């Protein structure tokens, strides 16, 4: 069965009760309510749509270019990286490799909708090449006319599924895997993905269609259950789409192709999903829709946080426990 693991004091003891929003970021739902949420049915052509995109990405030769970085760390050699993704878009980011020991596994790490201005040095993995790409349009992958800011980015070509930016970001992830393998061919069969929030949603969409990814970790993933996503009050990227949908009635039907919960039902590799009971930016029902969609397996695990995208009393304790779990999870690569 899909296991649930909670670290901290008593479950839910540090869910925030004082917040500056005009809505309740628990949406009045208990853990049992959240666990009962099921993923939506796939629209016609869902698998063919994504398989076609994956084949397009797989045909790209990323040609990764490495250069010196201004960032330094005693345990990691840090280099700037640029590779070519689909649509001839240049993707920038960072590559970390261990200063000591061999490179035995690879990890692609996605970012939230705030973009990324530096790599993370505290990911609990060893003997790992870690690639931190910036998804198209954001941070080191700025690409006009895509907006670098979440409210505009999430709307870019939203009415054209074949060119919607969210699909392009999934392609950037797939090409990131290709870039890692072109640098380290020995990593074939030993590559994982880790993503938070926006990067979690992109991961859920991309992982099912790329057999080169062996393990996945998603924290507070977005884009799950788009029907709910379009209706629940939020301070996150969904708010921008909700406003847009008021004058564009066909948005939901197009977004069904980009539902992270629908995609997650197709994942067949070990997964670790961290989901929150309170979250003003990614509604918990949408997060749980993704986590609950993962096939029941002894290899899959749900880690429950009291809150996401918000500071709370037990945050440090729970994040430490999650970090330890992530380290053990990726040692299996």
Query: How does pLDDT run across 136-183, given as a tens digit for each residue?
Result: 999 999 999 999 999 999 999 999 999 999 999 999 999 999 999 999
Geometric angle at alpha carbon 98, from 269 and 77, rounded to 5° = 120
The pLDDT tens digits for 306-330 are 999 999 989 999 999 999 999 999 9
Tell me the per-residue pLDDT of 90-140, one tens digit each, with 9 for 90 and over.
999 999 999 999 999 999 999 999 999 999 999 999 999 999 999 999 999
- Percent of the chain residues past pLDDT 90, beyond the cut: 93
At the fourth CATH level, the homologous superfamily of domain 3-330 is Alpha/Beta hydrolase fold, catalytic domain (3.40.50.1820)
Please provide the average confidence, as pLDDT, over all residues in the chain.
94
Give the C-alpha separation, 291 to 287, whole Å.
Answer: 7
Cα–Cα distances in angstroms (integers) from residue 214 to residues 15, 207, 210, 324, in the given order: 33, 9, 9, 19
Query: 186-227: per-residue pLDDT in tens?
Result: 999 999 999 999 999 999 999 999 999 999 999 999 999 999
- Non-local (6+) Cβ contacts of 105 within 8 A are 125, 127, 128, 129, 187, 190, 191, 192, 330, 333
Provide the pLDDT for residue 296: 81
Question: Do 318 and 7 contact (CB within 8 A), yes or no?
Answer: yes
- Look up residue 26 and give its two tokens: 């628990």
pLDDT band at 71 (very low <50, low <70, confident <90, very high): very high
Torsion sign across C-alpha atoms 234, 6, 262, 188 = positive
State the pLDDT at residue 12: 59
């Amino acid at each position: 069965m899909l296991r649930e693991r909670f670290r901290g004091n008593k479950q839910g003891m540090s869910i925030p009760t004082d917040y500056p929003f005009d809505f309740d970021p628990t949406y009045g739902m208990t853990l049992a309510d959240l666990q009962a949420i099921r993923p939506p049915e796939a629209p016609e052509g869902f698998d063919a749509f994504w398989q076609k995109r994956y084949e397009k990405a797989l045909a790209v030769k990323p040609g990764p270019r490495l250069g010196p970085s201004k960032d330094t760390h005693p345990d990691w050699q840090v280099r700037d990286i640029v590779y070519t993704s689909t649509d001839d878009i240049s993707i920038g980011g960072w590559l970390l490799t261990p200063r000591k020991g061999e490179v035995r596994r690879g990890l692609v790490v996605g970012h939230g909708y705030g973009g990324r201005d530096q790599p993370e040095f505290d990911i609990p993995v060893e003997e790992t090449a870690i690639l931190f790409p910036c998804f198209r349009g954001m941070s080191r992958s700025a690409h006009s006319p895509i907006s670098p800011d979440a409210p505009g980015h999430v709307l870019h070509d939203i009415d054209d599924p074949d060119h919607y930016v969210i699909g392009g970001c999934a392609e950037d992830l797939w090409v990131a895997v290709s870039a890692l393998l072109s640098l380290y061919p020995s990593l074939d069969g030993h590559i994982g993905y880790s993503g938070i929030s926006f990067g979690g949603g992109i991961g859920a969409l991309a992982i099912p269609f790329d057999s080169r990814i062996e393990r996945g970790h998603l924290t507070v993933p977005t884009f799950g259950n788009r029907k709910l996503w379009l209706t629940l009050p939020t301070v996150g990227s969904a708010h921008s789409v909700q406003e847009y949908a008021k004058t564009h009635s066909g948005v939901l039907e197009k977004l069904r192709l980009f539902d992270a919960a629908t995609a997650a039902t197709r994942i067949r590799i070990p997964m670790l999903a961290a989901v929150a009971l309170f979250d003003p930016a990614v509604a918990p029902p949408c997060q749980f829709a993704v986590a609950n969609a993962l096939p029941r397996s002894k290899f899959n695990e749900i880690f429950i946080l009291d809150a996401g995208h918000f500071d709370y009393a037990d945050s440090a304790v729970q994040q430490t426990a999650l970090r330890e779990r992530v380290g053990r999870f990726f040692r299996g690569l």
